[in-house]
A and B are shown apart, each in its own frame.
Chain A
Amino acid sequence: MTAPRRILNDLSVHEGIKSGLRALRSDLPAYDVERGAARFEAMLAASARASSPAAAKVTKTLAAKGLLVVGALVLLGSATYALRSPARGDAASPPSRGEVPAEASPGRGPESPDESSAPVMTSTGVSVDSLPSAPPTASAPPTKERATAASDEREREVRHLASLQQTATADAEKAVQVAKEGHAQFPRGALFQERELILIDALVRAGRHREARDHARTFLAAYPKSPSAAHVREVLDQASASLDRTGSAE
């Protein structure tokens, strides 16, 4: 059987059909490849951390259930739908599970991000009230301007996270600083959990066990079902044990 002739090269095909095909060929999506690639790399980094020895068991289970992809995408990809951080003041201890996070503040509308709405540090680490909460469900579709601004914000946050990951491999103290700056810079950011995980690890490596323990406790209270919860529990045990040894546990 001979090769078929392409429609656009076939003189017997009506010009109107060719016109339709040409129009289809010229219909290109406005997709930002660089932004997509940055998101992809951030997702791989998150997956790699979830696959670390500490979290290997959890990762294996998730993979077996076919949820690894979804989990990684939920962590990084579903930016708009991820938990968001409200501006709250002086919360204290971690709340019960019922207070955390998805239905924490359903009635609140979008707030303008400012530094005062960054997650609040308390004696127990980060206030759960200051952790990201769910976005309001019923709202008018965003205008193009708002969508673009949100998109730019996400891109900046992804880039910040990539930079933080780089810093964390070399300098724990610096990573702590950069992670906290990220929390302040993106108070309602979708990558809060990612930054917080890096922050907790960096605090341990910097020998700041009390802070690491407090952050780990608060993280587990807020995100008990996080794919990284097992890893955080291990960090919590490690930090607590270290504080016990030095006699500085509370």
Chain B
Amino acid sequence: MNALRLPDTSSERTFVDAASLFRAHGAFVARFLRRLNVPDDELDDLMQEVFLVVHRRGGFEPGRAKPTTYLATIASLVARDRRRLRERRKTDPDTDRLTGVLDGAPDPEQRALLVEDIARAQRALDAIVPERRVLFILFELEDTPCSELAAVFDLPLGTVHSRLRIARREFLDAYARLGKEPTP
């Protein structure tokens, strides 16, 4: 993936500081990191790292991309670095993690199905090549338009489309494959 276009620190421009971004969009970043399968016990540390990077880059300059998309690009880099540092744990979502979702599914059978659905979808998501996974998450789960993805990742629009198609195929193939495997 090409280098991100990041805000410079020209004094005449207006930037949103990192702490304000944290309060405004922290929930989005936490959700996005979750989509990247960051375990709960590492979530807060990675959140701190994401916004520290934002801070060191001078904050966010409103412009071509929404702040959430900008933050997602940074979060993906931070998560990637963390992944490289340690062996990633190949675990399904645990029930603690799913507490919020399960609250809406009081029936035990319904809960079991929901846990299974999430675990399978998450594993299918993990099967997508990382540089395409970020695009896929933003497009499919966060409803980000392709034009914005092209802008913030500095990619031609056709390349974004192409990568999303490949990512979609990777996801669907993995999802189908996981359905045939016995549950671990």
Binding site for B on A (CB under 8 A): 1-4, 6-8, 13, 16-17, 19-21, 23-31, 33-34, 36-37, 39-41, 43-44, 69, 72-73, 77
The 6 closest A-B pairs by CB, nearest first: A33-B26, A20-B121, A31-B30, A23-B117, A24-B121, A37-B22
B80 in contact (CB, < 8 A): no
B77 within 8 A of A: no
Query: Which residues of A are found within 8 Å of B175, using beta-carbon distances?
Result: 17, 20
Classify chain B's interface size.
35 or more
> Could you list 12 further interchain pairs (A-B, Cβ under 8 angstroms) beyond the known A20-B120, A24-B122, A31-B27?
A1-B162, A4-B168, A19-B117, A23-B114, A24-B125, A26-B104, A27-B101, A28-B101, A31-B47, A33-B27, A39-B44, A44-B19
A24 to B97, CA, bound (A): 12
Check: B140 CB closer than 8 A to any chain A CB.
yes
Number of A-B contacts (CB under 8 A): 118
B164 to chain A, nearest CB (A): 5
Cα–Cα distance between A34 and B22 once the two chains are bound (Å): 8
User: Is B66's beta carbon under 8 Å from chain A?
Assistant: no
Q: Which residues does chain A contribute within 8 Å of B22, judged by CB atoms?
A: 33, 36-37, 40
Known contacts A29-B30, A29-B31, A29-B34: A1-B172 contact under CB 8 Å:
no
Measured CB to CB, the nearest residue on chain A to B141 is A25
Determine which of B19, B51, B118 lies in contact with A20 in the assembled complex, contact meaning CB atoms within 8 Å.
Answer: B118
Assess whether A43 is in contact with B146, with CB atoms less than 8 Å apart: no
Give the most central of A16, A40, A69: most B CB within 10 Å. Answer: A40
Given known pairs A4-B164, A8-B140, A36-B22, the reply for A31 and B44 (CB within 8 Å) is yes
Q: Name the B residues within 8 Å of A41 (CB-CB).
A: 19
A27 touches B93 (CB 8 A): yes
Q: Tell me which residues from 95 to 128 in chain B have a Cβ below 8 Å from any Cβ of chain A.
A: 97-101, 104, 114, 117-118, 120-122, 124-125
A33 touches B31 (CB 8 A): no
A37 touches B101 (CB 8 A): no
Rounded to whole Å, the gap between the CB of A145 and the closest CB of chain B is 14
B34 lies within 8 A of A36 (CB): no
A20: B residues at CB distance < 8 A: 117-118, 120-121, 124, 175
